[in-house]
Amino acid sequence: MNDRPRLSGLILTLLLVALAAAVLFPIGLTLVSSLMSEAEIGLNYDLIGKMVDTANGGQEAFVNLKLLPDWLTLAQYSQVLILSPKFLSMFWNSAGLVVPIVAGQALVGSMAAYAFAKLRFPGRDKLFFVYLMTMLMPFQVTLVPNYLVLHELGLMNRPSAIILPGIFGAFGVFMMRQFMSHIPYALTEAARIDGAGQLTIFARVILPLAKPGLAALTVLLFVDYWNMIEQPLIFLQDAGKQPLSLYLAQINQSARGVGFAASSLYMAPMVLLFLYAESYFVEGIQHSGIKG
């Protein structure tokens, strides 16, 4: 009788391990390959699946993926960080775009979400529905109107062409509203009875309770905008202003080692942010009801 739950637990664990391995394997491979020399990477990846006449007495053998480098080298990192200013310049471009967007959307989104979640005004739900509609539309659909508006405003080829639409994105409003709607009305009512204004209630009551939601929003927005491709590609023609996300696309086959090193560094801010906000993130996702 007791064996059944134990067996299903085991199967579940194995399934999760396999899933985790599938997710972690590319990341681990990227990190390992970033420490290989360019020549070793060539030997490793170019010959996979081929019959190769190895040095072993002319025997033929299949080449498999190499998971540990023969020689550890930091040459690729030195290429990326020292010998060329391009990566770092694009890294700071990315930071300059993503930090204002995340901070701005977290602030604007949470204030709007407070209004949608805790204030009662005519047409509130209809307006929220319109918000949702803009979120549901993919970027490509709104590309042309976005382009025309930015062009008319004279914002083309400026970082604000990315930052302003980012700050006023609908996702933050949606997520924070979902999170805030779980906060009981009793708390806001109590504050109001104690004589608190809307701003005080928002800042002193709601915002501290919405911390996990804000953390989750920050991580999700950071990942989303750190990886954006289309917006900078279209709105930032000037190569000197483009973010890091466009950098990896420019790496060709002859510089795969550089690509692995750049990818490892590219991942680092996202991984660090996730680890930092991990517990808030899980809680925030749970309460905002957007999991799965």
Enumerate binding residues for another protein (CB under 8 A).
79-89, 91-92, 247, 250-252, 254-255, 258-259, 262, 268-269, 272, 275-276, 278-280, 282-283
Identity of the residue, 81 or 155, whose beta carbon is nearer to another protein in the bound complex? 81
Nearer to another protein, 61 or 268 (CB): 268
Q: What Cα–Cα distance (Å) separates residue 114 from each residue in 85, 161, 190, 241? A: 44, 27, 16, 35
Antiparallel, parallel or unpaired: β 51-53 and 60-62: antiparallel
Cβ at position 8, least distance to another protein in Å: 22
Contact present, 62 and 51 (Cβ < 8 Å): yes
Residues 223 and 106: their CA atoms lie apart, in Å, by: 14
The CA–CA distances, whole Å, from 163 to 61, 77, 94, 111, 157 equal: 54, 30, 11, 18, 12
**CB 261, min distance to another protein, A:** 10
Q: Which is nearer to another protein, 19 or 141 (CB)?
A: 19
Nearer to another protein, 95 or 135 (CB): 95
Considering the complex, what minimum distance in angstroms separates the CB of residue 76 from another protein? Answer: 10
Nearest-approach distance from CB 142 to another protein, in angstroms: 32
- Of 77 and 114, nearer to another protein (C-beta) is 77
Q: How far is the CB of 91 from another protein (least distance, A)?
A: 6
Task: From 169, 172, 273, select the one nearest 219 (Cα to Cα).
Answer: 273
Distance CA 259, CA 252 (A): 8
In the three-class reduction of DSSP (H, G, I as helix; E, B as strand; rest coil), residue 217 is classed as helix
